[in-house]
Amino acid sequence: MSENGGGKEALPLFETKAAKGRDAYKLFAFTVFVGVCMILVYRLTHMPQPEEPGRWAWIGFFMAELWFSFYWIFTQSVRWNVVYRYPFKARLSSRYEDKMPGVDIFVCTADPKLEPPTMVINTVLSVMSCNFPPEKLSIYLSDDGGSELTFYALVEASQFAKYWIPFCKKFKVEPRSPAAYFAQNSGSRDVAFAQEWLVVKKLHEEMKMRIETAIGKGSISKDMKDLHEGFSEWNSKVTKQDHQPIVKILIDGRNPGAVDIDGHILPTLVYLAREKRPQWPHNFKAGSMNALIRVSSMISHAPIILNLDCDMYSNDPDAVREALCFFMDEKRGHEISYVQHPQRYENITKNDIYSNACNVLNKVELAGADGYGTAFYCGTGCFHRRDSLCGRKCSKDLKAEWNIVTDQTKKRNVNELEEASKALATCSYEKGTQWGKEMGLVYGCPVEDIVTGLTIQCRGWKPVFYNPDKAAFLGVAPNTLDIALVQHKRWSEGFFQIFLSKYCPFIYGHGKIKLGGQMGYCVYLLWASVSIPTLYYAMMPSICLLRGIAIVPEASCPWFLPFAYVFIGRNAGSLAEALTCGDTLKAWWNSQRMWLIRRTTSYFFAFFDTITRQLGFSETTFAITAKVVDDVVLKRYEQEIIEFGTSSIMFTITSTIALLNLFSFAWGIKIALLDWNLRAVEHLIPQIILCWLIVMINIPVYQALFFRSDKGHIPSSVMFKSIAVASLACLLAVC
């Protein structure tokens, strides 16, 4: 049926509303901009003469503030245009209940050690049990680790699904990840529910125990292998980086016998491990996604695709229906390419110690970019129109046919489909084709999802950013500082490479994407570049304080007003945004600390590595962040104690900056109070205050350096190096 099936007078399936207070915010931002301009004028008109001390430091501050000003304009561009989306799933159900399109769901995993199979199958089970016709639902697990342990876990999940899915739908339980559900709920509603709850919980625990036992042994027993003929694919020659394509249909949704314990049809479930050979590039997650697109087109060929990371389970069983409201809207649905949900996490602490929740980013920045029609594809939690992923251009005459079942799918049995699909997952299949260029996810960039989204938008498609009150999907946020910084280093490095490539939004998107949308992209693509001025501002005020060089006018000087207004206005606005978006005051303070740490470590190394790569001195790598930590580390995370614990050079930089500002602050206080010479430092009071603020924000760093004895403290080797470097900087400054 075409998208016009609802009739000419049909009500829209979604609406878009502009955020309140946008005009007031524009006025506030304009006043801050005037203050920023006055600061730059002050720097130019009061620059020390060549023979005066501090001239080069002054020039450095001017350059840093100039770059901050440009970057600030980019961040404001998205804040001026915030919109929110509201789907009407009741209208969708009443109009299309019997004519829903098929949906293929892709779950990607890459390493059974870093991404435990028990976690992976909980994500799979959560989407298998969503509120959607099972005959229209197909779930694909892409195992880039090619592990028989992951395959075994999926076999177990296919059996457990026969009990879990009817239990979920009968009692409307949520969330529908078994692990998350049983951790949050007890079977205390009524006798009938309690009995089934106990049965299903026991089955889940037994399944989990069998899987973890197999993982502990590192192999699958013969009895377990007898459960499915698919285990014959694994032999002594199969390794993670060298194996044949493996496609196994564990549940065939076309088969009338593929039913749960209540006799209802089960969704199709497919395992895929694309071929890998040492001499062939595998293109990381983008290559995995492209193989999934091709294999799914052979087996189910649904017009809508949802892709999820393996740790991001479905938290809202109606998420699929809500997403379809955008695609199936009679007036605007035909031009929508994808519906992106924000990344939200189940393990965020009350005060968000590592600033993982990103509430302001989700509710303000990404929603603002959506106002320009440039919702970013984030790589997970995204519903795609298959046509847009496969290179098709958007046109006004495009009409979708939602219920297409190809003849090749109807006529072939499971074995024939598996064999035909394997040919689509070989290393050589893409050679000489447009896959990775004009079709599928784009190759060549570490953050291939951002480039793919940009490419799709440049073909005329309109993406949507949808941030519902109830999180559609929940993942696992980093629970150690090291993991959090490595993750941001990977992201910011990939972003900066995009900015320096042909895919720079100002070039690639020129004439195709609105200027505000181009600037919105660059808010993130330029994360790495902001590291240099931030490092300068985190260190040079302290060094100038030690040398007695004023970098800010005295409080009695009229030129002090723009400095004070911009500082207070920027922080007051940031605090107001955070509180409005649901953060606590302490969470905002923690975000300021993480803002400083990320920019001076993750983003700095991302900037350095990107430049060396551009010069040909290094190659792009892909790092998978661990999804699990031990119980002791988890307990400290829940207590909101920052986890250092390693000798990372990032922690050396963080500690050095903290100590340098502590030493300089102590020096300023000594002169002002102990020497009773307040007049001597009156012109330096703003710098003393700045050092004090950096000291206050780094209190957890000092605790980890000198007072903590747990394994999460900063190692002594880092402490000694930081003390030495900070002391040397102070000595050079005062000499």
Q: Which residues are catalytic?
A: 144, 449
Phi and psi angles of residue 15, each rounded to the nearest 5 degrees, phi first: -135, 160
225 labeled part of a ligand binding site: no
- With 0-12 / 13-18 / 19 or more C-beta atoms within 10 angstroms meaning exposed / middle / buried, residue 72 is middle
Instruction: List phi, psi (to 5°) of 406.
Output: -70, 150
Has 363 been labeled as part of a binding site? no
Using CA atoms, how far apart are residues 231 and 225, in angstroms rounded to an integer?
Answer: 6
What gap in Å lies between CA 181 and CA 323, rounded to an integer? 23
Q: Tell me the C-alpha distance between 117 and 627, whole Å.
A: 11
Q: What is the largest CA-CA distance in the chain?
A: 93
Q: Which residues contact 148 (CB under 8 A, 6 or more apart)?
A: 220, 231, 233, 234, 238
Burial 113-141 (b: 16+ CB within 10 A, else e): eebbbbbbbbbbbbbbbbbbebebbbbbb
How many Cβ atoms from other residues are within 10 Å of residue 417's Cβ? 22
**How far apart are the C-alpha atoms of 111 and 456, rounded to whole Å?**
29
318 marked ligand binding residue: no
Could you tell me how far CA 476 lies from the centroid of its own chain? 11
Q: Residue 285, annotated ligand binder? A: yes
Question: In the block, which residue shows the tokens 């190659």?
Answer: 619
200, 182 in Cβ contact below 8 A? no
- Buried-exposed string 541-558: b where 16+ CB fall within 10 A, e elsewhere: bbbbbbebbbbbbeeeee
Task: State the first-to-last Cα distance of the chain, in angstroms, to the nearest integer.
Answer: 81
Report the C-alpha gap between 266 and 259 in whole angstroms: 5
Contact yes or no for 100/5 (Cβ under 8 A): no
> Which letter, b or e, does each residue of 608-631 get, where b requires 16 or more Cβ atoms within 10 Å of its Cβ?
ebbeebeeeeeeeeeebbbbeeee
Residue list for the binding site for UDP-alpha-D-glucose: 115, 144
Residue list for the binding site for Mn(2+): 285, 309
Residue list for the binding site: 115, 144, 285, 309
